[in-house]
Amino acid sequence: MEKKNFINAKLVKSNKSFRKVWMVTTEGWEPKFCNNAKTALKYIFMLKRSTGGYVSHDTMERLRLEIALSKKTEAPTQA
């Protein structure tokens, strides 16, 4: 049975600020810290293309939800 290479992303606490920081990890690569979910998603796709790794459905849904929430809060309000 061959070993599958999984790419994981999880939310970590930043020591420098109160921002949400995402840590993207996979076996054989250094962990990458991303300042937002959109950057983490781009990095995950780059890793997937270069390593052929697998991304879990839960990880993708968490990142998509976070991106949707950030777009909702960044939308300008019209009075």
Q: Mind listing the pLDDT tens digit for each residue in 19-36?
A: 789 999 998 889 999 988
Q: How far apart are CA 25 and CA 31, in angstroms?
A: 5
The amino acid present at 48, given as its one-letter code, is K
Domain boundaries, the chain: 6-74
Task: Say how far apart CA 10 and CA 24 lie, in whole Å.
Answer: 7
Whole-prediction pTM: 0.79
52 φψ region: left (φ > 0), alpha (ψ -120 to 50), beta (else): left
Is the separation of the CB atoms in 3 and 54 below 8 Å? no
Position 43 confidence tier, pLDDT thresholds 50, 70, 90: very high
> Rounded distance, CA 47 to CA 72, Å?
28
